[in-house]
């Protein structure tokens, strides 16, 4: 009986929280902005990465970046560099670091940190305008970060 | 040969960059509106105020960053959807809405008695030493002279009245005072302008100073000037005040916003208004 309860609790936890093997945002090790280790310990899925990058409620990378390889995206923004050939310019570790927290690579970058949970000024509860209830979840979880990285490394020219 | 190729590549890159700039530029257009009292020619771009040296050379009305159709709506008062709200405001100005039958007109005569006020707001009230936005002056009258409950900062009656008062300075040059008693409020507003709020860690300056003219998805970033406010915002199908827009912008950084009419946003309105010193008050404008 007790064992069943424990198992049920563990299952519920597994569904609601990131996998135990994920590196938590606070534990990510940046070396000159780069993050060598996969945050999930596994390779990401590039197709899922495209979804994250082009979905408003997720990464919405295309709000600022053009990706020539994704011509179906309507109205991509142009305030940030195009991502074509980005894998020629940066290593996988550098790309992971930039997606997780670009400010560790580019001081003062406009780009939001997608895998960071603290250090914000007046953090809000999503787009409600109200105060955050507690520590914020990162904008993207570890799996989503790895999926984006898996797609970015394919962008060679 | 190698050298030449590099130079050519650099030139191409520069050319691309310049093309990008051209696409990003504010529209080449001028704003004039025919009225019963003659034509009003608006200043929609001019040299930036001295304190913006090193930040901006030229200041542009947000009107220049909107599409052709949107700009056209503001060129003709019959097409301008904000005029409905101005008219409604004039009716309220004349109505005996006070507890003892007071009206705005009873004390102030016609709304033209407000000429020039919009161009110098926000300002510090000489008697109280408080920073006043137009909403504060209106609510002083509403509560103290008319004996009514104060109007909500972003309520419809408030925005109608902002429209009436703003229209009396249409075409006048924004000239907000930033020194003397205004200085500490202005400094506070400036600090807010450059603070990166929320989970997205964005300041006003990130978009409206560093990247105006460029696109965030389908949004053409303006300089965030407020000389056109209150504005009819097509996206909201209604009037929007500067205070209301500040709430929207800060909310969009995934931040806990300040409240409309708060000390913080009043200071910000003073600072942002001053960045438009030299542009025309547009009365009631149209944006999207």
- The answer on whether B275 is annotated among ligand-binding residues is no
Whether B3 is in a domain gets the answer no
Residues B198, B253, single domain; the answer is yes
Summarised one tens digit per residue, pLDDT across range A112-143 is 999 999 999 999 999 999 999 999 999 999 99
pLDDT value of residue A7:
55
Whether B203 is in a domain gets the answer yes
Whether B259 is in a domain gets the answer yes
Whether B23 is in a domain gets the answer no
A12 pLDDT more than 60:
no
pLDDT value of residue B63:
98
Whether B274 is in a domain gets the answer yes
Residues B54, B144, single domain; the answer is no
The mean pLDDT value for B64-76 works out to 97
pLDDT value of residue A3:
53
Residues B115, B223, single domain; the answer is no
User: Domain residues of chain A, as ranges?
Assistant: 2-152
Question: B251–A77: do the CB atoms touch at under 8 Å?
Answer: no
Distance from CA of B27 to the nearest CA of A (A): 17
- To test the contact with chain B by mutation, choose from A85, A103, A107, A120 the residue with the greatest count of B C-beta atoms within 10 A, namely A120
Residues B143, B200, single domain; the answer is no
Question: B214–A75: do the CB atoms touch at under 8 Å?
Answer: no
CATH number of A2-152: 1.10.760.10
B50 pLDDT more than 80:
yes
Question: B257–A120: do the CB atoms touch at under 8 Å?
Answer: no
Residues B193, B261, single domain; the answer is yes
Question: B251–A124: do the CB atoms touch at under 8 Å?
Answer: yes
pLDDT value of residue B15:
40
Whether B224 is in a domain gets the answer yes
Domain of B201 in residue numbering reads as 31-81+174-286
Residues B73, B110, single domain; the answer is no
Domain CATH number, residue B133: 1.10.760.10
Looking at the annotation, which residues of B are catalytic? 249
- The answer on whether B208 is annotated among ligand-binding residues is yes
- The answer on whether B141 is annotated among ligand-binding residues is yes
Residues B137, B226, single domain; the answer is no
Residues B178, B197, single domain; the answer is yes
- The answer on whether B108 is annotated among ligand-binding residues is yes
Instruction: State the average pLDDT for chain B.
Output: 93
Chain A residue whose CA is closest to B200: A112
Among the three residues B168, B187, B215, which one is the final residue of a domain in this structure?
B168
- To test the contact with chain A by mutation, choose from B9, B13, B217 the residue with the greatest count of A C-beta atoms within 10 A, namely B217
Among the three residues B168, B200, B221, which one is the final residue of a domain in this structure?
B168
Residues B187, B237, single domain; the answer is yes
Residues B111, B239, single domain; the answer is no
The interface predicted TM-score of the complex, written ipTM, equals: 0.88
pLDDT value of residue B25:
84
Chain B residue whose CA is closest to A133: B256
Whether B25 is in a domain gets the answer no
The mean pLDDT value for B125-147 works out to 97
The mean pLDDT value for B265-288 works out to 98
Residues B43, B164, single domain; the answer is no
The structural domain count of chain B equals 2
The mean pLDDT value for B76-83 works out to 98
Could you give the percent of chain B with pLDDT greater than 90? 91
B96: DSSP letter:
-
Binding-site residues on chain A for chain B (CB distance < 8 A): 60, 62-64, 74-79, 110, 112-113, 120-132, 136, 139
Summarised one tens digit per residue, pLDDT across range A54-95 is 999 999 999 999 999 999 999 999 999 999 999 999 999 999
B22 pLDDT more than 70:
no
The mean pLDDT value for B125-135 works out to 96
Q: Which of A76, A78, A136 sits opposite B199 (nearest CB)?
A: A136
Whether B267 is in a domain gets the answer yes
The mean pLDDT value for B51-70 works out to 97
Separation CA A135–CA A120 (nearest Å): 10
- To test the contact with chain A by mutation, choose from B255, B257, B260 the residue with the greatest count of A C-beta atoms within 10 A, namely B255
Binding-site residues on chain B for chain A (CB distance < 8 A): 20, 23-24, 195-202, 206, 210-211, 214-218, 221, 247, 250-257
Summarised one tens digit per residue, pLDDT across range B244-255 is 999 999 999 999
Residues B71, B200, single domain; the answer is yes
B17 pLDDT more than 80:
no
pLDDT value of residue B24:
63
Question: B257–A112: do the CB atoms touch at under 8 Å?
Answer: no
The mean pLDDT value for B198-223 works out to 96
Among the three residues B146, B168, B190, which one is the final residue of a domain in this structure?
B168
């Amino acid at each position: 009986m007790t064992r069943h309860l424990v198992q049920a609790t563990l299952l519920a936890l597994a569904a609601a929280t990131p996998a135990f093997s994920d590196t938590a945002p606070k534990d990510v090790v940046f070396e000159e902005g780069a993050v060598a280790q996969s945050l999930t310990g596994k390779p990401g899925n590039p197709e899922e990465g495209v979804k994250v990058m082009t979905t408003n409620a997720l990464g919405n990378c295309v709000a600022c970046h053009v990706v020539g390889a994704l011509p179906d995206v309507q109205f991509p923004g142009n305030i940030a560099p195009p991502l074509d050939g980005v894998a020629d310019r940066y290593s996988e570790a550098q790309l992971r670091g930039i997606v997780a927290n670009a400010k560790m690579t580019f001081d003062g970058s406009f780009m939001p940190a997608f895998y960071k949970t603290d250090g914000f000024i007046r953090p809000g509860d999503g787009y409600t305008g109200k105060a955050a209830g507690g520590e914020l979840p990162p904008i993207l979880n570890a799996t989503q970060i790895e999926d984006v990285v898996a797609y970015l490394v394919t962008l060679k020219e | 040969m190698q050298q030449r190729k590099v130079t050519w590549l650099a030139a191409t890159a520069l050319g691309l960059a310049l093309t990008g700039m051209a696409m990003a530029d504010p529209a080449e257009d001028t704003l004039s509106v025919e009225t019963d009292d003659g034509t009003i020619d608006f200043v929609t771009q001019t040299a930036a105020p001295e304190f913006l040296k090193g930040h901006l050379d030229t200041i542009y009305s947000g009107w220049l960053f909107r599409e052709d159709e949107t700009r056209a709506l503001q060129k003709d008062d019959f097409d301008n959807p904000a005029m409905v709200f101005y008219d409604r405001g004039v009716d309220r100005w004349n109505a005996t809405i006070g507890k003892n039958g007071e009206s705005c007109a009873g004390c102030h005569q016609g709304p033209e008695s407000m000429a020039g006020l919009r161009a110098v707001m926000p300002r510090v009230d000489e008697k109280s030493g408080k920073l006043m936005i137009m909403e504060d002056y209106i609510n002083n009258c509403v509560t103290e002279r008319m004996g009514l409950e104060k109007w909500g900062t972003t309520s419809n009656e408030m925005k109608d009245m902002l429209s009436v008062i703003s229209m009396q300075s249409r075409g006048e040059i924004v000239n907000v005072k930033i020194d003397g008693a205004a200085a500490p409020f202005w400094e506070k507003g400036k600090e807010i302008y450059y603070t990166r709020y929320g989970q997205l860690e964005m300041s006003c300056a990130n978009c409206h100073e560093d990247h105006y003219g460029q696109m965030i998805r389908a949004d053409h970033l303006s300089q965030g000037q407020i000389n056109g406010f209150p504005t009819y915002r097509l996206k909201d199908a209604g009037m929007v005040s500067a205070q209301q827009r500040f709430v929207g912008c800060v909310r969009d950084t995934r931040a806990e916003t300040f409240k409309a009419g708060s000390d913080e946003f009043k200071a910000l309105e003073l600072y942002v208004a001053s960045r438009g010193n030299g542009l025309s008050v547009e009365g009631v404008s149209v944006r999207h």
